Amino acid sequence: MKTQTRRRLVFLAWAGMGTLLMGALLSPSASQVLAGQAHASPVGAHAAARLAADVGPLQATPQAYLPIVWRQYFLDYTYQDDFSNPASGWPVDTRSEYGYEQDADGSQVYYIRSYYASGHKFVSGPGFAIGNFDYQAEVRLATTVQPLAPGDQYGILISPAPIDPNNASGGPVYALQVQLQSAAGQLPNYVVTKWTSLAELHKTVLKQAGAADWLTNLPKFWNRLRIVRSGNQLDFYISRQKGASFTPWQHVFLYAEPTLPEQLYVGFLVDHAEGSSYLIEFQFDNVFLHVYQ
């Protein structure tokens, strides 16, 4: 009887430690919890009740419920940012190259400025997705002068790790960009890229084409960009401002990546054209990220 009791206690202790360990592994840190989002606890009364029921007689076989806990924790959720709160978690540069601002038209936006030829700027925010997601943002040219050289690009990105804008590294990073043209009235291109590392020599253009009437080249007019993940597949969409609304989404590219990272952060990028040395500013607004199973 004493031997059986001792075995029961040892088994209960082992099961309890496993439950606590599972909770520690799956519980988010304070920096990972998005403001305003509710997270279900992976270990609670329900898990404890299941554990007690499964212990049963001494001859019972231990059972693991990690997939069930996983599904309980990673609920569908939505992250949004309209940049009306300058403390919402995006990086701010002391030299005023990127950060929050209120535009002359009253829009509260996130901006990125570039002064130098071939100047790349990569920025990631606090929002991230594990698994399937729908990421959208509005982007526009803010400076009212026409670009002096073709090739200035700006857009949205997804990255497996947060990016330090002053020391960008890591990869692979996937991006959907608007490429401006120097001729007034000439429609921009859309460009889909993959950066195996955040350096120009490690960028691959997956698709580049004229945007027909799906994007605008005009300053202060918004384009919408969208990346949707389903499993290891990425779908890319574009749209533009037309009056007080936007044109319907236009699907422009599908990319299958067998090694697509499970966790991806959302962000922005600017790619200043080679041979250019003038100030150009781009603005970003209304970030929308919906994560689903």
Per DSSP (E only), the strands in 14-119 are: 77-81, 98-102, 108-114
pLDDT in tens, 130-185: 999 999 999 999 987 666 666 788 999 999 999 998 888 888 999 999 998 766 66
Residue 72 tokens read as 């309980």
> What is the DSSP secondary-structure string of 150-216?
TT-EEEEEEESS---TTS-----EEEEEEE--SSTTPPPEEEEEEESSSSGGGEEEEEEEE-TTSS-
Of 76, 64, 90, residue with least CA distance to 129: 76
Of residues 11 and 174, more confidently modeled: 174
* 3-class secondary structure, 148: coil
Is residue 84 within a helix (H) or strand (E), and if so which, with residue range?
Answer: none
Helix (H, G, I), strand (E, B) or coil at 4: helix
C-alpha to C-alpha distance for 277 and 249, rounded to whole angstroms: 34
What proportion of the chain, given as a percentage, has pLDDT over 70? 68
Q: What is the mean pLDDT of the chain?
A: 77
**pLDDT at 65 > cutoff 50:** no
Which structural domains are found in the chain, ordered by start?
A: 2-73 (no CATH), 77-292 (2.60.120.200)
pLDDT digits (tens, 9 = 90+) for 234-247: 999 999 998 889 99
Residue 286 has pLDDT above 80, yes or no: yes
pLDDT score, position 233: 97
Q: What are phi and psi of 29, to 5 degrees?
A: -75, 170
- 203-to-5, 63, 81, 226 alpha-carbon distances in Å: 63, 47, 28, 20
DSSP label at 103?
-
Residue 162's Cβ-side half-sphere holds a number of Cα atoms within 13 Å equal to 10
Q: Which of 27-31, 34-38, 44-48, 280-284 is modeled with the greatest confidence?
A: 280-284
pLDDT-based confidence at 63, cuts 50/70/90?
A: very low
pLDDT exceeds 90 at position 8? no
Q: Which residue has the tokens 């569908």?
A: 76
**Angle value at C-alpha 267, between 264 and 272, nearest 5 degrees:** 130
Residue type present at position 175: A
Listed in sequence order, the residues at least 6 apart from 17 whose beta carbon sits closer than 8 Å to its beta carbon are none
Q: Which residue has the higher pLDDT, 121 or 48?
A: 121
Each residue's pLDDT tens digit, 103-117 = 999 999 999 988 765
